[in-house]
Amino acid sequence: MGEHEASYLVDILALLLATVVVVPLFHALRLGALLGYLAAGVVLGPWGLGIITEVDKIRHLGEFGVIFLLFVLGIELKPDKLWRMRKMVLGLGAGQLFLTAAALYGVAIWLGVSTKSAIVIGFGLALSSTAFCLKLLAERGGISTVMGRMSFSVLLFQDLAVVPLLALVSYLAGGGQDAEITEFSLLYGIAVIIGLLLMGRYLLNPILGRIVASQDPEVFIAVAVLLVLGVAWLMESVGLSMALGAFLAGLMLAESQYRHQIEADILPFRGILLGLFFMTVGMGVDFGLLWHHLGAIIGLTIGLMVIKGSVVYTLVRIGGARHDVAVQSGALLSQSGEFGFVLFGVAATSGLLDAELGQILTLIIALTMVLTPFVVKGANILLLKYYVPKPSDDGEYAVFIDDSEAHVILAGFGRVGARVGALLGEAGVSYIALDMKQERVKSARAQGFPVFFGDASQVKVLQAAGAERAKMLVIALEEPEKVDRLVLLTRQAYPDMPIHARARDRQHCADLISEGATTTVSETLEISLRLTEETLLGSGVDSAEVTRVINEFRDDYYSDVVKKVSENKVVMGELRH
């Protein structure tokens, strides 16, 4: 083995060892995996132990993590849902980019930077990090929350702005011909996107079906990776970003029957490579340059995050979101992104930026990424401690529900309701939860869950939660009398809405069905059945026999519920006569 190959092997071993040691440590300290990867990168990088010095080469490999991340996001976001978000993407996304760029342009001019350089700096720093934001969003309910959808709209518009910004840099540098080529590439790229979406709709499933029929899982995985990287490369070849290409590849598969298996095959690649990308950010912090310009860089970094956060906060509030959602969105999007590295590198090469200024800007971007997890965590802690939403505030949250999007209304967000909500979010099912306990609502909202303060037994609250468009009502309230009242009220106001209710026991199940519930689940029954199942298995009873006994008892139990409902109807009929 040559010296070059041995060096790469040492780098890989160091990266894996740092992941195994540092990331679990940060998890144990409740600081999150993201900060763990950043810390590992600092330790391994040129200003730490110096084990890895060629950061740029490692960064190029780590960028594949961002590509796989965007692919998974695209496969979870169906094209029709993306189309329904178009107003938010164009309004909030465009507003954030141009207003932030204008504010930063003014600051750069005030600091004595030339006009052309100030334009590049404004747009370059206005972009946020897709990888960092989506990673942090995944820990707080994903894009199914109001904050998630608004933040993703901004990030998606920024990815779409990559090509025009590159054309702008080329134009400012005096490359008019190059700018014309880039404009042509944009039109060509749009044509390629349309062609790929049509191929994904009509050709991809038959091709994947033939590969599945071969019953060779390794080939299926190879095809999944080929699809992601192939579309990403195709988008880059026509002048668009690879990340946008990966997102498009995910959209091609969003309606496919094979999407879940492909997503499962891609996830290991995404996890490892995305962690590597975060490490390279930590490695890229130039502590020598930071020390030499300590005061200026710290001041500019904090100022940048304040400006970006303030712009996002203002736009989100104008969009109708509550104060806490706007604060969380502003904190999440307050950093600058990885595309700034590319933009400033091109600008420095073309002479638009001074070399040292380009290095300072790159360092500022890295520092904003490092600080973002702390800012987000701090914002959530402050909101949880000091912010008390007014009950009247929740009367406006219907604007966050797309008119054409059916969702689930979840009444109660206690132990049972929280588990139901978490599983709905994990499965990508849109829902809105209502709860009357203020501390519970504050805690859930601080974690990014779509929970609102409100009494679900009031018709106006159900209307505000979009009951006319809701798929169903799930009642997970703890007090049986409140469950009874809510079932009666909902059935009167919405005769056709499916109602799935939590019940106390067999008689309560029967009462709720008589009152209009579609299905009921007895909490005492399910607990007793699970305990019995474990007891029988532990006693050596065959698993098939255990399943038979449990299922028969469950069927008998709910058959008795039906009988009780019939008896109730008979009694009510006699009383009427």
Q: Tens digits of per-residue pLDDT, 254-263? A: 766 666 677 7
pTM over 0.75: no
Closest CA to 193 of 263, 249, 233, 152: 249
Six-digit token string for 539: 């006693």
Output the pLDDT for position 260.
62
Cα torsion at 269, 275, 280, 285 (round to 10°)? 170
The one-character DSSP state at 54 is: -
Q: Which residues of 186-222 are buried (b: 16+ CB within 10 A; e: fewer)?
A: beebeebbeebeeebeeebeeebeebbeeeeeeebbe
What distance in Å separates the CA atoms of residue 55 and residue 280, rounded to the nearest whole number?
A: 6
DSSP string, 71-129: HHHHHHS-HHHHHHTHHHIIIIIHHHHHHHHHHHHHHHHHTT--HHHHHHHHHHHH---
What distance in Å separates the CA atoms of residue 366 and residue 132, rounded to the nearest whole number?
A: 11
Question: Rounded to whole angstroms, what are the CA distances from 433 to 36, 234, 418, 445, 520?
Answer: 33, 42, 9, 10, 19
What distance in Å separates the CA atoms of residue 99 and residue 103, rounded to the nearest whole number?
A: 6
Cα torsion at 433, 436, 439, 444 (round to 10°)? 0
Task: Name the H helices within 450-539.
Answer: 459-464, 480-493, 506-515, 523-538
Q: How open is the CA angle 544-546-550, to the nearest 5 degrees?
A: 120
Output the pLDDT for position 394.
45
Of all residues in the chain, the percent with pLDDT exceeding 90 is 6
Closest CA to 445 of 513, 379, 512, 351: 379
34 touches 135 (CB < 8 A): yes
- 499-503 vs 519-522, strand pairing mode: parallel
What distance in Å separates the CA atoms of residue 454 and residue 322, rounded to the nearest whole number?
A: 15
355 touches 408 (CB < 8 A): no
3-386: CATH class: mainly alpha
What distance in Å separates the CA atoms of residue 419 and residue 430, rounded to the nearest whole number?
A: 15
Rg of the Cα atoms in the chain: 27
The phi-psi region of residue 45 (left if phi > 0; otherwise alpha if psi is between -120 and 50; otherwise beta) is beta
Name the helix (H) or strand (E) containing 173: none
- 408-411 vs 451-453, strand pairing mode: unpaired
CA–chain centroid gap for 245, Å, is 18
| Topology adopted by domain 399-576 | Rossmann fold (3.40.50)
pLDDT along the chain (577 residues), means of 10: 58 79 77 74 79 72 74 69 74 90 92 88 88 72 68 81 73 57 61 76 74 73 82 76 76 70 73 77 77 87 93 88 84 84 74 80 85 86 73 43 64 85 79 80 77 73 76 86 84 85 81 82 76 81 81 74 53 39
Backbone angles phi, psi at 353, to 5 degrees: -120, 140
Q: What are the extents of the domains in the chain?
A: 3-386, 399-576
Closest CA to 336 of 313, 383, 302, 379: 302
Output the pLDDT for position 69.
72
Output the pLDDT for position 307.
94
Output the pLDDT for position 314.
92
264 touches 68 (CB < 8 A): no
38 touches 285 (CB < 8 A): no
